[in-house]
Structure 1
């Protein structure tokens, strides 16, 4: 569902457009996460969907962006405990900007160390592949 608020341009108001996903299934499709994972994130207070008067969940594009950011953090192997800490800080608003930045900087160091470690592994593989190329070439 898309909600559109149109206001006369002469009144200096703007157009508000907000995509809404009225089911966890549609939200799951949009984010690429399973319903099970989304319910788990809700249980862990990582996401807090809005509720219609009848109690049914609905999600906005803001929720999509947040979940996609969580996915990126997970992709970098940030532990769920740290993601929860980040989510709590985020919920408290701008007074936690510095704390959030520090948390992300700490994780950034971990990611950089991991990348350096993998670069070492890649270098070892490249050396071995070069060894085989040279050996094969010398036998021809």
Structure 2
């Protein structure tokens, strides 16, 4: 199955400009072309785009994504380095999760504090009207 660039953009959640940019910086291989010379993305291309999107969502820099993309063409010979890139990124993600959890704890504390204040105001108003 192949997809025109607009359909590939829709399915991947990326813009047409982003697909062209990813091709230009060699994050993705140039897709096949149809008989009219238009890009024809495959299911494999879309799977790769989904993976790249996940990497980008984790905050991986484009330069590391480019390194990973180049390494994947080397096959098994580059498995160790590709794994290390992902292990390093996982560490970054876990650190961000820990930081966000710490922020969440503070937010939860403050919200609980305000809920307690609101209950106190309601109790005072109820006592004053009685």
Same fold (TM over 0.5): yes
Is 1:91 the equivalent of 2:73? yes
Q: Unpaired runs of 5+ in structure 1?
A: 1-18
| Alignment match, 2:6 | 25
Greater share of helix: 2
RCO comparison, higher one (Cα < 8 Å, 6+):
2
2:45 aligns with one of 63, 80, 85 = 63
For these two proteins, the number of residue pairs brought into alignment is 121
| Alignment match, 1:108 | 90
Structure 1 distance, partners of 2:33, 2:26, is: 15
Q: CA 1:54/1:136 → structure 2, altered by over 3 Å: closer, same or farther? A: closer
| Alignment match, 1:78 | 60
Structure 1 distance, partners of 2:73, 2:49, is: 14
TM-score scaled by structure 2? 0.87
Deviation at 1:91, TM superposition (A): 1.5
Deviation at 1:54, TM superposition (A): 5.4
DSSP-derived class of the 1:47 partner? coil
2:33 aligns with one of 22, 35, 51 = 51
Deviation at 1:52, TM superposition (A): 4.1
Structure 1 distance, partners of 2:110, 2:74, is: 51
Greater share of strand: 1
Structure 2 distance, partners of 1:53, 1:97, is: 36
Deviation at 1:20, TM superposition (A): 1.0
Structure 1 distance, partners of 2:75, 2:32, is: 18
Structure 2 distance, partners of 1:40, 1:121, is: 35
Larger Rg: 2
TM-score scaled by structure 1? 0.81
